[in-house]
Each structure stands twice: as structure tokens, then as C-alpha cells.
Amino acid sequence: MTVAILMGSRSDLDTMKKAAGILKEFNVAYELKVLSAHRAAESVREYVQTASARGIRLFICGAGMAAHLAGAVAGQTTLPVIGVPLSGSALAGQDALLSTVQMPKGVPVATVAIDGAYNAGILALQMLALADPTLAARLEEFRRKMTEEVLQANTGLE
């Protein structure tokens, strides 16, 4: 395993699978896990403390409302932690965004857009590519294709 994709609730799975999808596309191993900073705090601790030994290099954590999962993980590791604030509450993810991004001095969470699990996967790949020139090259190729697709969206526009 290289990337741990954690989520606060099973109901977050559909969104968080988008992170898994892009990792799979790049053949990066990952595991999906439902863990709750509040309802299963001890399990979060055990999971994070043993993660490195299982090969985990970074974490992607998705949570809604008072989204503490990414912060709780970041407080127990010095590996990079990517936070995905999830909408779905009455406040449409504004609560989760602030709970994820406004971390105190010394313990950052790399926060992406509300429900931005796909981008969390891309960001994980960019981090891993720092130690993997082949992955770096594939990301550049991926970007080129994405740009092409945007431009092809013009076909038949006028």
C-alpha cells in the first residue's frame, strides 16, 4: 500500500472513490478505510501508527461537518496529509472546509476543494512523483491530455 484513503463515514464512499480511481489509473496502490476521528478515535491512532510499516507514504482524508479526520491524522504523523472537505451538511461544506484548512501552527493539512476527492488523488500523485521520475513524466503526459480534452470541448461550439 502507498496511499491511505480514509473517510469519516461509509456514506462518503461515492465521493472518496474518485481519489481511488485516479490512483488506480496510475497504478498506485491504495487502501480505502472508514475511520472516524470522533467515533473511532483509537482506531485512527492505531491505523496511523502502523501505516508507515505497511508502506503508507501519505494520507487522503475526507470528512464532513466538523471535519476533524484529516487533522487528527496529521497530529499523529509527519507524512503528508491531504484533506477533502465534504458537503452534505446543512452548511454545504463550509463547516468542513474551515475545520480542515484552518489548522494550527506546526500541523498542516493540504486542503483541496469541497468534495474535491479527484484532485486529492492528483495531488497525491504529484507528491509521490517527487521521488519517482517516471510518475512525474506520466503526470505531465496526463496534463497534456487534459488540456487537449478541454480544447476539444470547443468542437461544434459555434
Per CB under 8 A, which of residues 55..94 are in contact with a second copy? 57-58, 64-66, 68, 71-72, 74-76, 78-80, 82, 87, 89-94
CB of 78 to a second copy, least distance (A): 4
CB of 52 to a second copy, least distance (A): 9
Q: How far apart are CA 95 and CA 23, in angstroms?
A: 27
Q: Which residues pair with 72 in a beta bridge?
A: none
Q: How far apart are CA 36 and CA 153, in angstroms?
A: 40
Q: How far apart are CA 16 and CA 61, in angstroms?
A: 9
CA atoms within 13 A on the CB side of 75: 12
The CA R_g of the chain, rounded to the nearest whole Å, is 16
CB of 85 to a second copy, least distance (A): 8
CB of 50 to a second copy, least distance (A): 15
Determine which residue in the list 4, 23, 37, 60 makes contact with a second copy, applying CB under 8 A. Answer: 37
Is 42 one of the binding residues for a second copy (CB under 8 A)? yes
Is 26 one of the binding residues for a second copy (CB under 8 A)? no
